[in-house]
Structure 1
Amino acid sequence: MTTDKIRVLGENTIGYESSAEGAIKFRTFNSLLNEENPWTFCQATAHEIESAVKKAAEAFPIFSSLLGLRRAAFLETIALEMEKYKAEILEVYVAESALPLGRAEGELTRTLAQIRRFAKIAKVAQWTDPTIDINDKADIRKTNVPIGPVVVFGASNFPLAFSTAGGDTVSALAAGCPVIVKAHPMHSGTSTLVAQAIRMAAQKTNMPEGVFSHLLDGDNSVGEALVKHPEVYGVGFTGSFNGGKALSHIAQQRERPIPVFAEMGSVNPVVVLPGIIEENGAHWALTLAESVNLGAGQFCTNPGLILGVQSIAFKTFCNQLGKALSEQKPSCMLHPKIFEAYEKGSSAMEQMGTRIAVDKKDSDKAHFAAPNLVEVSGGDFIKNAALQQEVFGPFSMVVICDDVEELNAVITHLDGQLTGTILGNPDELDAYGSVITSLQSKVGRLIFNGVPTGVEVCGAMQHGGPYPATTDSRFTSVGDDAVKRWVRPVAFQNWPDSMLPESLKNDNPLCLLRRYNGEFTSQKI
């Protein structure tokens, strides 16, 4: 059913149809007003799940065989439809997230740019990575092909950029994989609005029905059923370690296991070298404080761990950081449960360490989190694995090491992380070569003299890292290479040119850069 406007619907989107068969209802919550939002949502039933997956499976052979230009037009139209209904999307976004309008506008801008970027990726099709080897024995040509229908889970902290039309969804669509989105229950209203924009775009560009579906739930049952379904071929997830681990376990227990690309958070260690804080400690203390408290600390790249070697300068820096955090305003968190988890986690860390003098500015408003900073020794950090746990919110921990050897031991002891940062002067880096090497082995992105919050959508971005930051450190959920999660290589041996995929044909109709007998070329064969 085509409509020329969108509104918050409590219904599931299954291909081109809306459906509300279930008896289980739920609502989203406005943390800023401390009340439920007015919309009621209907949890998807087993029949609706089956219908969505069946339509995706039927759409796959058609959608995957379309020229990249067709898929690009679909993605570009999604962006246009979202722009058309910008006001409606932003209004509901703010009501469901408690995030300010400026943040909502910025995230929408990023999301639209990301959609259009993947439209270009679909159009160019360099992700197919064509490789051709021809010799006296055989003619072998390899290219990447889409894996099949995938399930994407919306993220709690990014209702747009990592959710319904976020990076997981649009990278999968660019590759030719139909997508079933399992909306995050906290922002189901925002998600249904975006889902309607995607459905309109699919209809306007004549995509096969089932190329996109959108299912709602207030618990974990719908997501679990989707991951178990035999016609689902991959999963994209951004969220907690427990959630990602559970989905990965379910996927591996299937009769035919499938990949789960889960980004599960990180404490993002920041190593502070002595020279830079002796010269400009106050500046970096303020910079880090702003990063810790950005968006109430609800970023997976929040700098949750500050590492340094004991000295008068480092102690002064820690006090400056505490003072700078004291000057940050408390911020409303996304949801009461997230706020409660932050308070519990922050208090637990205080009991295991020593709170640095941060003047906690308690708010008279519910669900407003104040920044917190706790200090522990390097030895205690190594002994207590619980100190590595992420506290989702405006929290950071300082680890004071006795010497460089202990600093290196602390880094070696760390779990996998999304990011690692070195704050230092260039002329002191050589002396900390072993520390930098150790940190590189633990992270997906290594930053010099910056903060980890803020993830640029570009070709060189790596938003991933060793387990438990993600389930597969070889892939990224942000940037051009995100598309590689949804494809697999297929080799064609001795096939006639007319039957080969476009990326492998002699005439190179897509004008791709191809590896031919070991050399890169865009020439015809």
Structure 2
Amino acid sequence: MKLTGNLFIGANDVAATEGTMKALNPTTHQLIEPDFALGGVADVDRAAILADEAFDLYSHTSLARRATFLESIADNLDAVRQELAARAALETGLPEAQLEGEVTRAATQFRQFAEVVRRGRFLQLAIDPAQPDRLPRPRMDHRLQKMAIGPVAIFGASNFPISYSVAGGDTASALAAGSTVILKAHNAHPGASEIQARAIRKAVQENELPEGVFSMVRGSGNAIGEALVDHPLVKAVTFTGSEQGGMALYRRAQQRPDPIPVFTEMTSVNPTFILPDALAARGAQIGDGFVERMLVNVGQACLKPAILIAIEGDGFEALRAAMVKRVSEASARTMLTPGIHASYISGLAGMENAGAHRVAEGSASGADFEGQSALLEVDGRHFLSDTALAQEVFGPSALLVKVKDEDEMFAVARSLRGQLSAAMHLEEGDMPLAQRLLPVLERRTGRIVVNAFAHPQEVTFATVHGGPFPATSDSRFTSVGMTSIERFLRPVAYQGFPDALLPEALREINALGLPRSVEGR
């Protein structure tokens, strides 16, 4: 596939209106052809108008047709798997084989959401029939279903160039809900973004849907993102990235004349707690496994286990030695972008300035943007005295927190802000302590793992990828898994409607065979 570098505004390829850019190969430091178009406020306006024009028709397509559309996207992604992975590898430095797996995951998500759509449970259909003889006054017929919230702006992420990008879970769940999508591509992987966008647009055309169902824009600086959040036709925003960036978008959306939801995934250190019997029985094994997971994707993963908390005692030295060994043996690897690499170096310096000591490091970097792995250590008292030690450092580093007793472990747990995940390693004798620790973790995270590590995760109906602030801006929702569709839905009630005017799923005869609640049953 020849890349054009154009923006995709509905069915149209749009040339640059605000200059151009090239992708950077972070491994070779070379710019990669071709030039990619940068757009501006006028391009966002055209995309938003098309998305709004398409919304009424697309959101009312039959469930079967919408599911077929999602499966077409999956098929189109499968068809470009190798090409997409190869281009993403050039733009990110990530292994091509890993990226082929990411394409497969993206295609699988679209097929999973197609099944969600066919089953219709997401509509949450409810019927409370009329009670004309009820006293002291009759009750009219009430029926409810969920419908799409409106056109959605999705900000592609930097660290997963496919599964959190143009063809990622946000796009899949929004389209499944019936929302139209305007995608802001991340400038770190423009070629990979274009290949994914073409796969989606091809599916729009193959299924004869309105062109405004999907558009992709790109820009420099903040102007294009701000235009998306400000546009009155956009009704929700998703964002994966830094706390600073996510909260800037969130605050901006709340200042609109009509505030809209912004679903952010921002920052998390995914703490791991090792309870005493588990530490004594398998401290070395846990330490080695922790660092192995920490190093995945050069530490550039939202579920990276970054902080490990253990009570000094039997097994602690074995734990520490295993972590030091694994970190010391790790080779420096290319990070995704120069900016991420610079932030990593700055973050490590900040941890050391706050009192953490570097106790191990991997092989020195041989290139400008390679991330050298690092293990830092601090005691519980120092950890509790400086909140900087609990901040995320995006890259291949971890912090070992040595606490003196159970009370200090609980104090550390209670000091943590909201997290995407937390883990406990325990044995049978640790159960009383685990039962006490569990409520503390439940208040601070959306996902708790026992005797494993939070990364990776399955994409299922029970998946939760969210948590209290600052992990996300709204802990009621997940950004991964089948229930992520709920972000893009709102309830509509139909009162006293003639049967012929009702949505098909709510009519007296359930011709679609969908699950419905009648009088709460």
| TM bucket normalised to smaller | over 0.9
The counterpart of 2:302, out of the listed 278, 283, 300, is 300
Where does residue 370 of structure 1 map in the other structure? 372
Indicate yes or no: 2:255 matched with 1:267: no
Change (3 A) 1:514 1:315: same
The secondary structure found in structure 1 opposite 2:239 is strand
Change (3 A) 1:512 1:279: same
Runs of 4+ in 1 over 6 A off after TM superposition: none
Name the amino acid aligned to 2:71: E
Distance 1:491 1:247 in 2: 31
- Aligned-pair distance for 1:143? 1.0
Distance 2:146 2:428 in 1: 41
- List per-residue Cα deviations over 1:401-458 (Å, max 9, x = no partner): 2221121111111100000000111331213322221012100000001111112110
- Aligned-pair distance for 1:142? 1.3
- Aligned-pair distance for 1:325? 1.5
- Aligned-pair distance for 1:501? 1.6
What 5-or-longer segments of structure 2 have no aligned partner? none
The secondary structure found in structure 1 opposite 2:490 is strand
Where does residue 420 of structure 1 map in the other structure? 422
Where does residue 75 of structure 1 map in the other structure? 70
Distance 1:305 1:292 in 2: 10
Where does residue 170 of structure 1 map in the other structure? 172
Distance 2:18 2:387 in 1: 43
Instruction: Tell me the matched-pair count.
Output: 514
The secondary structure found in structure 2 opposite 1:265 is coil
Where does residue 344 of structure 1 map in the other structure? 346
Where does residue 120 of structure 2 map in the other structure? 125
- List per-residue Cα deviations over 1:472-507 (Å, max 9, x = no partner): 001011111011000101111121121112222221
Where does residue 434 of structure 2 map in the other structure? 432
Q: Map residues 458-469 of structure 1 onto 2, 5 A cutoff.
A: 458-469=460-471
Q: Map residues 64-463 of structure 1 onto 2, 5 A cutoff.
A: 64-134=59-129, 135=131, 136=134, 137-463=139-465
Where does residue 518 of structure 1 map in the other structure? 520
Name the amino acid aligned to 2:346: K
Distance 1:266 1:259 in 2: 21
Q: Which has the higher mean CA deviation after the structures are superposed, 418-427 or 508-517? A: 508-517
Change (3 A) 1:129 1:274: same
The secondary structure found in structure 2 opposite 1:77 is helix
Where does residue 13 of structure 2 map in the other structure? 18
Q: Which has the higher mean CA deviation after the structures are superposed, 509-518 or 204-213? A: 509-518
Distance 1:211 1:451 in 2: 38
Name the amino acid aligned to 2:87: V
What 5-or-longer segments of structure 1 have no aligned partner? 1-5, 520-525
TM-score computed with the length of structure 1 as normaliser: 0.95
Distance 2:144 2:404 in 1: 53
CA contact (8 A) 2:153 2:183 kept: yes
CA contact (8 A) 1:418 1:445 kept: yes
Name the amino acid aligned to 2:22: R
Identity of aligned residues (%): 38
CA contact (8 A) 2:279 2:314 kept: no
Where does residue 9 of structure 1 map in the other structure? 4
Distance 1:23 1:449 in 2: 51
- Aligned-pair distance for 1:395? 1.2
- Aligned-pair distance for 1:218? 2.8
Distance 2:119 2:213 in 1: 21
- Aligned-pair distance for 1:178? 0.5
Change (3 A) 1:416 1:46: same
Name the amino acid aligned to 1:236: T
Distance 1:17 1:232 in 2: 20
The counterpart of 1:505, out of the listed 499, 504, 507, is 507
CA contact (8 A) 1:185 1:219 kept: no
The secondary structure found in structure 2 opposite 1:358 is strand
CA contact (8 A) 2:40 2:223 kept: no
CA contact (8 A) 2:284 2:318 kept: no
Distance 2:149 2:434 in 1: 44
- Aligned-pair distance for 1:60? 0.3
Distance 1:282 1:435 in 2: 23
- List per-residue Cα deviations over 1:249-307 (Å, max 9, x = no partner): 11101000000011112000000111112111221111111101111001000011111
- Aligned-pair distance for 1:208? 0.7
The secondary structure found in structure 1 opposite 2:72 is helix
Distance 1:485 1:498 in 2: 29
The secondary structure found in structure 1 opposite 2:359 is coil
The secondary structure found in structure 1 opposite 2:101 is helix
Distance 1:128 1:45 in 2: 36
Name the amino acid aligned to 2:347: G
The secondary structure found in structure 2 opposite 1:443 is coil
CA contact (8 A) 1:118 1:170 kept: yes
Distance 2:433 2:456 in 1: 29
- Aligned-pair distance for 1:356? 4.6
CA contact (8 A) 2:464 2:478 kept: yes
Q: RMSD across aligned C-alpha pairs, in angstroms? A: 1.3
Distance 2:438 2:333 in 1: 34
Name the amino acid aligned to 2:409: L
Distance 1:9 1:186 in 2: 17
Distance 1:359 1:182 in 2: 37
CA contact (8 A) 2:8 2:215 kept: yes
Distance 1:85 1:110 in 2: 13
Where does residue 48 of structure 2 map in the other structure? 53
Change (3 A) 1:380 1:192: same
